[in-house]
Structure 1
Amino acid sequence: MRVDRLRLLNFKCYGEAELGLERGVTIVHGVNGSGKSTLLEATFFALYGSKALDDRTLDDVITTGEEETEVELRFTHDGREYRVERHLKLRGDRATTTKCVLETPGETIEGARDVRREVTELLRMDAEAFVNCAYVRQGEVNKLIHASPSDRQDMIDDLLQLGALEDYRERASDARLGVKTVLDGQREVLENVRQQVEQKEDKELHERLNGLETRRADVAEEIENYEAQREQARNTLETAEDVLERHEETREEIETLETEIDDLRSKIEATEREREDAKAEIRDLEERREELAAERDELLADVELDPGADGGDDAVEERIRELEARDEDLRDDLEEVRVSITETSGEIERLREEADDLESQAVDAREEADELEATLETDEEAIEDREADLEDLEEQIETAREQFDSGEASPTPREGGETADAPVEFGEATAHFESLETDREELTDEIGDITADIRTVENAIEEGEALLEEGKCPECGQPVEDSPHVDVLAEKREELADLEDRLERLEDDRDDLDERIERAEELREAERRVDRLEENRDNIETLVAEKRETLENRREQRDRLREDAEQYETDAEENRARAADLDREVDDIRSELGSINTERGEIKDDLESLRRVAEIDVERADLATDVENLRERRRDWQTMNDERRETLSSKRERKRELESEFDEERIETARTDRQNAENYLEKVDAKLEDLEAKRTNLQNAIGAVERELEELEERREELEALEERCERLDSLYDEAETLQATYADLRAELRQRNVETLERLLNETFELVYQNDSYAAIDLDGQYRLTVYQKDGEALEPEQLSGGERALFNLSLRCAIYRLLAEGVKGTAPLPPLILDEPTVFLDSGHVTQLVSLIESMRDLGVEQIVVVSHDEELVGAADSIVRVEKDATSNRSRLESGEPPEIALLTSD
């Protein structure tokens, strides 16, 4: 596996960052706290998500002050390209995953759990195995050394896939016990089924079945005989009921005829009464027609029309049309008069309102002219004040510029011939101030680095003095006797004195630079003040010019308003005179309106009389129609009664015929036959029910015997299947027991083989690091216990080594494990990059050189990608490429800079 590119957005100390990694050795370099290790943590997090955070939570990786973060990792594995992307977002106090995607050559996988599962299968290791094999995190360099033999065994077995064999062995053991449990249960079932078969065979089921079927045939024959006799009785019953039914129908028809005869008599009588009532109603209608004729004559006389003239109805209609036409003309005249009155009144109102508006506008114009007169006086005074302000600003600008012309910024001599300040021209003060600020930032960084070096040396001196008091070497921790490193404290103290002197000189330079910055800031403020004053001067000059122009415009506007006021008053007087003339016209029109309304009233009375005449004519015609209708109905009723009398005669004749058909003797015989048949049917049904119940019981008994025979056959088949299953379970139990032993033997054999290979690789790696040194070899037993042998044969526990040697020993062990995995458990395994995070924490200068040798040896052995995070300059010489990490002091954000490493000779020189 090879990491190709890492992209971050708001991840811990990074805002936006993108890092590309090549093959070979890459050194991520920068001062402590700059964010180097964060790049490795981001890579680990991209692969394994929350499992890479130890005891931290998701919200810990989001940059402080931000709401969300993004991590994208592109890598190549086994020659194929992959991309994993994770997005987090704060929701309240907790962060949640909003996107988690792994793009593979064949599919896209979504969801944090599914992505982590796929990465684990792809790399053949989970997050814990990753940090035990390829990722040596900061502060965990001695993790394998400090682990107990059993923990170390579990770690290495998991990496070498041996833990899976133990899982398989345990599964085989569980399977063996499970097969034993199932086998015992099946044997109990087998014995139970065998007993059931024997019990059913003792019942002689076939003999019982034959006897039951014989008895069922006898009962069926008896049922057939009774059913034949019941059918004959039913035929007799149907014949008797048919005779009785016809008798009943005849009797019912006679009763119906009697009812219909009575009904016809009642209807004839009712119809005759209705004919008499209609005759009386006709007389009343004729009298009403006569009364309406008299009323008509009176109305015609009122409107001066002759009732007896030819074409009387047409004359009425003609007179109505004439009156309606005259009324329509008068209504039009009336509407015109009303419209004229309304329009004239509206015009009068408009003229008067317009006169009021004109008088109001005249008042407003005179008031606005007076206000402008007062404003003109105020503007003239304001112009005089602004001109005085311009003179004051000119004096202030001249005073501020004199600071640059008076020689106040004369140089001050400094140590080494430098000057503390230099005169600047107007306009250069800001650039001068920023240049001094940059010098001070560089000086502050240098002071910070020296202060950190002083603390490091002071800590080393304190630790060395404490070791000397215990009688141990301050450099390697071994007994002082015969140690070649006892003079290291003197060197450290000299180094501390030099660093303190240099710090004092730098602090003096910083104080002097602060004074220069203060003076430069004063000049910059003076320059800015001149700019503000000049801007104010230009603004006031513009304002004065605008004021003068406005003053003339206001004088013209004042004169124009006074002229407008006089015109408004003249127009108002004219409108009021016109409104008085129109008032007199309206009075004349109103007198004409009265005469029109009087004539329309007379026409209305005549029209009401004529319309009543028309209504009377219609009403008399309707009455004549009603009389004719009643006479027609009387004729219809007469015809209807004649038809009813004919029907009544025919029904009386039919009743007499039916009464002559009654035969009492035949009816009595039919009743006797029906009674006898019903009695027999009642008895035979009860007998048949008993026989049917008996046959049903026999059938149920036969079914039960047949079911028992089926169950007997099923138990025999089940017994045969159980015997075969028990034989297979016996064989499976033996196979599981053999498989359990095989997995245990295979694990022991593979562990011993891997221990021998790991011991060989560890010694090879250790020899590369400790060439011509005091250690001879390393022993690794089957329980993963480690022993270091010196040249003289003395055995040491790894914990007895010095801090630097112990760290370097552990790195050698981790590299050896990595080489073993590279050779592969399942063939060649495409392992992830070898990642070392601050491996020099416990190493002095000599051990760092050995670490460089270890890194170069791993690269020579074919490790495709090695990533080392360190602030140590000496490691840079082993790099194929270098990534520098810096932190912005203002924003507290880290940034990256990639490049080629410098020459080794330059890195190792003072």
Structure 2
Amino acid sequence: MRFERVRLENFKCYADADLRLDRGVTVIHGVNGSGKSSLLEACFFALYGARALDRTLEELVTIGAEEATVELWFAHGGESYHIKRRLRVRDDRATTVECVLDEPDGVVEGARDVRSRVASLLRMDHEAFVNCAYVRQGEVNKLINATPSERQDMIDDLLQLGRLEEYRQRASDARVGVGRVLEGKRESLSQLTDQIDAKEEKDLPERLNEAQSELTTVKSELERYDEQRETARETLEEATSLLEEYEQRRDELEDVDGEIDDLTETIETDECEREALADEIAECRERSDELRTRIESELEATDLSTDADRDAVESLIDDLEERDDEIRDEIEQHRLDAQRHREDAQNHRDAAVDAEERATEKRERAGELESNLEETRSDLADRRETLIDLTERIDAIEDAFEDAPVELGDAEGFREDVANELEDVRSELTTLEATIESLEADIEEGQALLEAGKCPECGQSVSEAPRIESLEDDRERLADLRTEREELTETREHIEDRFERAETLVDREDEHDRLWDKRETLAELIDERESSIQETEGRVETLQEEADELEAEAEQHRESAEAADEQAEDSREAIAECNERRGELADRIETLEDVLADFDRLEDLAEDIESSRERREQLAEMNDERRDRLGTLRDRRSELADAIDEDRLAEARADRDRAETYLEEVAEEIQQREQRRDELQARIGAIENEIEELRSLRERHEELEATVEHLESLYEEAQQLQEMYGQLRAELRQRNVETLERMLNDTFDLVYRNDSYDRIELETDYHLTIYQKDGEALDPDQLSGGERALFNLSLRGAIYRLLAEGIEGAAPTPPLILDEPTVFLDSGHVSQLLELIEYMRTEIGVEQIVVVSHDDELVDAADDLVHVDKDATTNRSQVERRERAGLVAD
């Protein structure tokens, strides 16, 4: 597995970053706190999510940003993959709004599904990834500080031995489960045997025969009683039917009498109603005559004749309404004209006010500009005086350079020449001082020997010694050197005076340049102010002219407003005249509408008269029908009275009573025998059920015996499988421990050449022991900080190598990632770390190694260098990928 590219947007300290990663060794370099580790955390987050970083989603989004995006491209097993995670912040809470894994076979969506798919694809979850390939910052000693059991779990998970323990546990759970089921089945088998024995002792077939014989006898007795009960029921039904028939005739007779009375009463009521309807008809005719007289009177007040009909009245109303509509349209037109004139008047008044306000503003603006002009002219005069002063100061400096040893502009070079000359003299004087001091010491020592007369070491005479013979020459040379020193001291003082002069000239030259720049700026500002004064004066004049024009415009608008008000008043007078005409029309229309209302009332009265006449005729017809019905009912009443026989009725009542008495007596006998029959049938059913249950118990007993035999075999197989997985895990762990111990010693020997240590021993429980050359055993935590860190890196390298070489057929392992591995290493240990990296790349064949470090010593080991910088003002990091670290070093 190899990282190919990572792209970040608003992730932690990165606003926007895009980095490609190649095979070989890539060093991500930069100062502490620049954001190097964040690049690796982004890759790790893309694979496994925020849980793997022990951080919240809010901590991953750049402060102040609303969204963050991380994309990772990686290769695995010869295929290319792409993961994209996008976060969004709402109400100070970040959530994952997009998580997609594009793979050759399709797309996986959702944070949980993507994390599960990555773990399955790489054959390791985020913890295994950290323990194997990702040495995170500050966790370089994680494996060495772990307990043996923790170390065992880490390495077993990496080598997939945890699966064997999982399989062994599953087999154990299966064995226990089968054992529980087996015990339950055995207990059920024993219970079935007891149940079968208990049922066989009851002699169920004999009990069944006795119950069936007694049931036959009871059924024959029930048949006899049923026949007798049926005869009694027939007698009861005949008597009851006859009684019901007589009862129905009596009821019908009562109904006929009641209906005769009702018909008689209804006929009398309808005759009264006919008389009342005759009175109503007469009253309606009188009211109709009154309405005709009133209509003639109302028509006389109109333009119509007194015999005009309804159509003529309606036609005249239509004409009057049309004239009213015309007058209403005329009023609307006058109203619109009045409104338009009022609006014109108001618009002109508003325009006049606006023009006056604008004129006032322009005059006020002109006044402000005139006031500012005075201040500008005063300021301009001050600046002109300042310009004269600057010119005089510049001229004074230029005059000062006329007597100077250099021209204006060459003072800096002159000061450097004098400084070099002063440095040479001071150096020469220092050398001369040292020579004088040495020569004075030699003369003093020779004088002391001369005064002693002999050498204190060998005891010989020193009168002819070379040092004594050159003593006088040394004194002469010392006198010459002191004279030379006095001359050099004077020369130095003179040069120092010249140097002070040169520095003064440099200061005056700097002041000249500064004053010159200031004068140029001030001259440009004076020109701008003069031009501004002219523009302002023209602007004041223009504002005054525009104000005069606006005041004239306001006066015109006021005149137009008065004319519009007069036109609006004319329109209002026209509206009043139209309304008066409409009032007259309304009165005439109202009179005609009253005539129409009387016509309607007249028609209603005619309809009422016709309706009443029809009602009287209907009532007369209905009474004739009722009288015919009344005669029929009286004939039926006579027939029913003749059909009722009281003697036959008494005989039927006696038959009914005898039949009911017998049915009550026989019912008790039948009930007793039916109860006995039901008891016998229930007993027979129970016995038959027990016989069927016995058969079923025997079948279940046979099936359960076979199940127990199968479970006993399955229990033995599960126990064997459990022992096999446990033994296989122990053997594989032993093999892995031996291989890992060998690889660890190979790696440690390569990166840590120290005569103090002999070998490393890794026990089966993953306990680590280091043996010195003298045979003494040490725990890893007894090593120094640098040795312990290097030891842990060696252990990580050995585990990585074992994982890469020990799982046959597995996909390539992930990149080896070292985050700040030199924290606990000194310079010597760093060089050994470089050898470990080279060993992992060339000997083991790790396809991709990524190292994060601020240490410059690791840069030379890189095939590619990624440089990380952080802007102190924005607190944002930037990455720059530099091809071939060697070229960067050059």
| TM-score (norm: length of structure 1) | 0.69
1:25 maps onto 2:25 in alignment: yes
- Quote the residue 2:451 is aligned against: none
Distance in 1 (CA, whole Å) between partners of 2:733 and 2:842 is 27
Q: CA deviation at 1:879?
A: 1.9
Distance in 2 (CA, whole Å) between partners of 1:149 and 1:333 is 116
> Equivalences for 1:612-651 in 2 at 5 Å?
636=620
Q: CA deviation at 1:400?
A: 6.9
User: What letter corresponds to residue 50 of structure 2 in structure 1?
Assistant: S
Note closer, same or farther for the CA distance 1:51–1:419 as it changes in structure 2 (3 Å cut): farther
> Equivalences for 1:831-846 in 2 at 5 Å?
831-846=813-828
Compare 822-831 and 791-800 and name the one that shifted more: 791-800
Distance in 1 (CA, whole Å) between partners of 2:185 and 2:837 is 64
| Cα-to-partner distance string for 1:334-391 (whole Å, 9 max, x where unaligned) | 9999999x999999999xx99x989x989x89x9999979987994895486277257
- Quote the residue 1:115 is aligned against: 114
- Quote the residue 1:891 is aligned against: 874
In structure 2, the residue corresponding to 1:138 is in which secondary structure? coil
Q: CA deviation at 1:300?
A: 9.4
Distance in 1 (CA, whole Å) between partners of 2:856 and 2:595 is 132
The answer to whether the Cα contact below 8 Å between 1:401 and 1:530 also exists between their aligned partners in 2 is no
Distance in 1 (CA, whole Å) between partners of 2:533 and 2:566 is 51
Gaps of 5+ in 1: 305-313, 421-512
- Quote the residue 1:745 is aligned against: 727
Q: CA deviation at 1:138?
A: 2.7
| Cα-to-partner distance string for 1:588-614 (whole Å, 9 max, x where unaligned) | x99x999x99x999x989x999999x9
| Cα-to-partner distance string for 1:105-157 (whole Å, 9 max, x where unaligned) | 22433343333332222222222222221112233333333444444333323
Q: CA deviation at 1:76?
A: 1.2
- Quote the residue 1:389 is aligned against: 376
> Equivalences for 1:485-504 in 2 at 5 Å?
none
| Cα-to-partner distance string for 1:871-896 (whole Å, 9 max, x where unaligned) | 33332232221111122222222211
> Equivalences for 1:660-739 in 2 at 5 Å?
660-661=642-643, 663-739=645-721
Q: CA deviation at 1:2?
A: 0.5
Q: CA deviation at 1:224?
A: 1.8
Q: CA deviation at 1:218?
A: 1.8
- Quote the residue 1:543 is aligned against: 536
| Cα-to-partner distance string for 1:462-490 (whole Å, 9 max, x where unaligned) | xxxxxxxxxxxxxxxxxxxxxxxxxxxxx
The answer to whether the Cα contact below 8 Å between 1:835 and 1:867 also exists between their aligned partners in 2 is yes
Compare 318-327 and 879-888 and name the one that shifted more: 318-327
> Equivalences for 1:182-581 in 2 at 5 Å?
182-259=181-258, 316-317=306-307, 379=366, 383=370, 386=373, 389=376, 392-393=379-380, 396=383, 399=386, 406=394, 413=412, 417=416, 539-555=532-548
In structure 1, the residue corresponding to 2:223 is in which secondary structure? helix
Compare 295-304 and 809-818 and name the one that shifted more: 295-304
In structure 2, the residue corresponding to 1:230 is in which secondary structure? helix
- Quote the residue 1:73 is aligned against: 72
- Quote the residue 1:444 is aligned against: none
- Quote the residue 1:867 is aligned against: 850
Note closer, same or farther for the CA distance 1:694–1:808 as it changes in structure 2 (3 Å cut): same
RMSD across aligned positions (CA): 5.9
Q: CA deviation at 1:814?
A: 1.6
Distance in 2 (CA, whole Å) between partners of 1:703 and 1:49 is 70
> Equivalences for 1:42-191 in 2 at 5 Å?
42-54=42-54, 56-91=55-90, 95-191=94-190
Note closer, same or farther for the CA distance 1:387–1:210 as it changes in structure 2 (3 Å cut): same
In structure 2, the residue corresponding to 1:886 is in which secondary structure? strand
In structure 1, the residue corresponding to 2:728 is in which secondary structure? helix
Distance in 2 (CA, whole Å) between partners of 1:241 and 1:713 is 57
- Quote the residue 2:477 is aligned against: none
Note closer, same or farther for the CA distance 1:412–1:67 as it changes in structure 2 (3 Å cut): farther
The answer to whether the Cα contact below 8 Å between 2:76 and 2:811 also exists between their aligned partners in 1 is no
The answer to whether the Cα contact below 8 Å between 1:169 and 1:744 also exists between their aligned partners in 2 is yes
Distance in 2 (CA, whole Å) between partners of 1:805 and 1:63 is 38
Q: CA deviation at 1:805?
A: 3.8
Note closer, same or farther for the CA distance 1:240–1:52 as it changes in structure 2 (3 Å cut): closer
In structure 2, the residue corresponding to 1:903 is in which secondary structure? helix
**Percent same amino acid among aligned pairs?**
48
Distance in 1 (CA, whole Å) between partners of 2:326 and 2:735 is 128
User: What letter corresponds to residue 702 of structure 2 in structure 1?
Assistant: E
In structure 1, the residue corresponding to 2:33 is in which secondary structure? coil
Q: CA deviation at 1:193?
A: 2.2
Distance in 1 (CA, whole Å) between partners of 2:750 and 2:690 is 87
> Equivalences for 1:760-779 in 2 at 5 Å?
760-770=742-752, 776-779=758-761
| TM-score (norm: length of structure 2) | 0.71
The answer to whether the Cα contact below 8 Å between 2:369 and 2:536 also exists between their aligned partners in 1 is no
Note closer, same or farther for the CA distance 1:715–1:644 as it changes in structure 2 (3 Å cut): closer
User: What letter corresponds to residue 396 of structure 1 in structure 2?
Assistant: R
User: What letter corresponds to residue 820 of structure 1 in structure 2?
Assistant: L
| Cα-to-partner distance string for 1:640-672 (whole Å, 9 max, x where unaligned) | 56x777666665555555555555544444333
Distance in 2 (CA, whole Å) between partners of 1:846 and 1:659 is 144
Q: CA deviation at 1:863?
A: 1.0
Distance in 2 (CA, whole Å) between partners of 1:838 and 1:884 is 14
Gaps of 5+ in 2: 398-407, 420-505
The answer to whether the Cα contact below 8 Å between 2:863 and 2:885 also exists between their aligned partners in 1 is no
User: What letter corresponds to residue 87 of structure 1 in structure 2?
Assistant: R
In structure 2, the residue corresponding to 1:34 is in which secondary structure? coil
The answer to whether the Cα contact below 8 Å between 2:297 and 2:306 also exists between their aligned partners in 1 is no
User: What letter corresponds to residue 145 of structure 1 in structure 2?
Assistant: I
Distance in 1 (CA, whole Å) between partners of 2:21 and 2:327 is 104
The answer to whether the Cα contact below 8 Å between 1:383 and 1:547 also exists between their aligned partners in 2 is yes
- Quote the residue 2:462 is aligned against: none
The answer to whether the Cα contact below 8 Å between 1:763 and 1:778 also exists between their aligned partners in 2 is yes
In structure 2, the residue corresponding to 1:317 is in which secondary structure? coil
